[in-house]
Amino acid sequence: MALNFFQLNFGLKFVIGTAAALILLWQWQLQRTRATSSRNSQATRGAVLAVLGATAIFGWWNFGRANFSAGLIHYHEFFHYFLGSKYFPELGYTGLYDCVAAADVQAGYPDRVATRWIRDLKTNELMGGERRFAAANECRARFDAPRWALFMRDVDWFRRQFDRDKWAAIAGDHGYNATPVWNATGYVLSNMGPAGHQRILLLALLDPLLLLIMWAVVWWAFGWETAAVAAIWWGANYPARYTYIGGAFLRQDWMVLAVIAICLVRRGRLRAAGFALTWSTLLRIFPGFIVLGLLGKIAADSIAARRLKLSRDHWRFAQGAVLAFLLLLPYSVTVGVRSPPDVSIWSAFAQNSRKHLQTPLTNNVGLPMLISFDPSSRAARISKFWVDAPFDAWMAAHNRAFADRRLIYFAIVMGFVILLAMAAKGRDDWTALVLGIGAIPIFTAVTCYYYGILLGFGFLALRDKLTGAALTFLAAATIITPAIIAADDDRYMAVSAEILLFVTAVTLLYAFNRRQAVRVHEAAPVAAGVPSSHGAA
């Protein structure tokens, strides 16, 4: 039977990850045994790794097919982030689906609204459309006449981009959930004009531009070979593939800033790094866990020295972080709100976030999801027991299991924090931040598409080929997982286990490989020269 393009796409990514892992293992074995190889052999390995990295980057766009039959633009994502930011003063975090239902009713589709599932964004419960008519009618009062006319026009444009079933299904998603800082920028960009193909395309090109800048900075900071290793995870993994947020509206900005922050630390630009990582955190919150690696290093080094060890670089990093708060927080309460300055937008965001933390999704990845997993509550087994709405019994089972095992979760988190501090002790600041990326799957269960950030572990291949091999093998492992496991909740439980195993193994390796810590700590500052293409210190 002939393979289709979808199968070939994932098959090629599996080959990329596996081949890269083998090459890096070869390089690691040569380093470990201090064996020598010819210049031609080194050049060949480097060239193959570069080709694999470049192919993986192309692979993130599914080798030119992007969303396969859907094209470049992710209209589902644009629907949420374009309408959600443009009309945030009227919609807030809870009004999107009800107001779209009101627009549909006014446009002559009341029967369609009555027969669809609509998520109540105040509770995250799915309800039959007929139960949301009252809320939809109330929504109209939030708009003045000109803004309602604009909203009707934009909703109509998006409605025409979907078939009837897909348009109905959109109202069952989880709404618009951007932070106030992201919302302010989204509000400015989306209000430049009505929704249309040209405008949406231009907004969709912002992420590729940012990604291009990010990879250029990675090359500048770490060299092309290390960049290739990082690119292989980013482009060839399964959870953070293009399907979810590729072709969307500024959904990669947080990752670009977090990665650039680590690169800036590597090159000695600590203030700019602190600003960038704080900006990333204010865009998505969970990137803030990355700084735990640096805090762990400071704590471990201070305990060893029996005094607080804060270098000038650390103070510069903190200054950049404070500057980001001073600039971005006022911006977030002034732009894109109903009556500026509106500090209540942050409390509304916090309430919205708490609601989502209590709503497990089948494609969430991280320790909390693994802790709450129970074979008896798999979707394949309990789907027939839905009570009022799809997946309500599944979500309730996960929440009950996590509540019962909460102490286990906190014990693992505390153990990891100690292990992270041990791993970061004596390391370069940028290495500590990379290790801090591992705190994200330990502390949180964010949706799968955020795990592109694991590309930062590829930077460790600058000196540690074994970690690079493990990362590229992880990409291959996640790619093969959906070929073995069919149901989404089971797939992402397996992916959670794979990622947590990788993070734990790398953190253990760095915690107990103290000889490397001393060597890295004593290395000459990077700012003195550009790293070589083969990643020498």
For 94-152, write each residue's pLDDT tens digit. 999 999 999 999 999 999 999 999 999 999 888 888 888 887 778 888 999 999 999 99
- pLDDT at residue number 4: 78
With a cut of 50, say whether residue 59 has pLDDT above it.
yes
Question: Measured between alpha carbons, how far is 452 from 234 in angstroms, rounded to an integer?
Answer: 5
- pLDDT at residue number 529: 33
Would you give the end-to-end CA distance of the chain in angstroms?
Answer: 49
With a cut of 50, say whether residue 357 has pLDDT above it.
yes
Question: Measured between alpha carbons, how far is 433 from 413 in angstroms, rounded to an integer?
Answer: 18
Q: How confident is the model at residue 192 (pLDDT cuts 50, 70, 90)?
A: very high
- Asked if 157 contacts 195 with a C-beta cutoff of 8 angstroms, the reply is yes
With a cut of 80, say whether residue 241 has pLDDT above it.
yes
- pLDDT at residue number 452: 97
Give the CB-side neighbour count of residue 491, counting CA atoms within 13 A: 18
Nearest 5°: the CA angle 116, 122, 123 is: 80
Question: Measured between alpha carbons, how far is 248 from 88 in angstroms, rounded to an integer?
Answer: 18
- pLDDT at residue number 360: 85
The stretch 434-458 carries a mean pLDDT of 97
* Residue-wise burial string across 441-469, b where 16 or more C-beta atoms lie within 10 A, e elsewhere: bbbbbbbbbbbbbbbbbbbbbbbbbbbbb
- pLDDT at residue number 437: 98
Backbone φ and ψ for 335, nearest 5 degrees, come out as -110, 135
% residues pLDDT > 90 (the chain) = 77
Backbone φ and ψ for 125, nearest 5 degrees, come out as -90, 140
Q: Would you state the structure tokens that stand for residue 333, as one six-digit string? A: 């309460």
With a cut of 50, say whether residue 535 has pLDDT above it.
no
Question: Measured between alpha carbons, how far is 535 from 461 in angstroms, rounded to an integer?
Answer: 8
Question: Measured between alpha carbons, how far is 211 from 199 in angstroms, rounded to an integer?
Answer: 20
Q: How confident is the model at residue 252 (pLDDT cuts 50, 70, 90)?
A: very high
**Could you tell me the pTM of the whole model?**
0.93
Count of all residues that appear for the chain in the document: 537
- pLDDT at residue number 69: 59
User: Higher pLDDT residue, 3 or 63?
Assistant: 63
- Residue boundaries of the structural domains of the chain: 5-66+206-335+405-528, 75-204
User: Higher pLDDT residue, 37 or 243?
Assistant: 243
- pLDDT at residue number 524: 38
% residues pLDDT > 70 (the chain) = 92
Question: Measured between alpha carbons, how far is 76 from 414 in angstroms, rounded to an integer?
Answer: 38
DSSP 424-454: HTT--HHHHHHHHHTHHHHH--EEGGGGGGG
pLDDT digits (tens, 9 = 90+) for 501-531: 999 999 999 999 865 554 444 343 443 333 3
Q: What angle, 0 to 180 degrees and rounded to 10, lies between the N-to-C axes of helices 224-236 and 206-222?
A: 140
- The CA-atom distances, in angstroms, between 389 and each of 4, 304, 397 are 35, 55, 14
User: Higher pLDDT residue, 101 or 41?
Assistant: 101
- pLDDT at residue number 384: 64
- pLDDT at residue number 527: 37
pLDDT digits (tens, 9 = 90+) for 268-290: 999 999 999 999 999 999 999 99
The identity of residue 7, as a single letter, is Q
pLDDT digits (tens, 9 = 90+) for 405-444: 999 999 999 999 999 999 999 999 999 999 999 999 999 9
DSSP 29-72: HHHHHT----HHHHHHHHHHHHHHHHHHHHHHTGGGTTTGGG-S
Q: Look over the chain and give the mean of its residue pLDDT values, rounded to a whole number.
A: 91
Question: Measured between alpha carbons, how far is 346 from 366 in angstroms, rounded to an integer?
Answer: 25
Q: Would you state the structure tokens that stand for residue 288, as one six-digit string? A: 């803030």
SS3 state at 522: coil
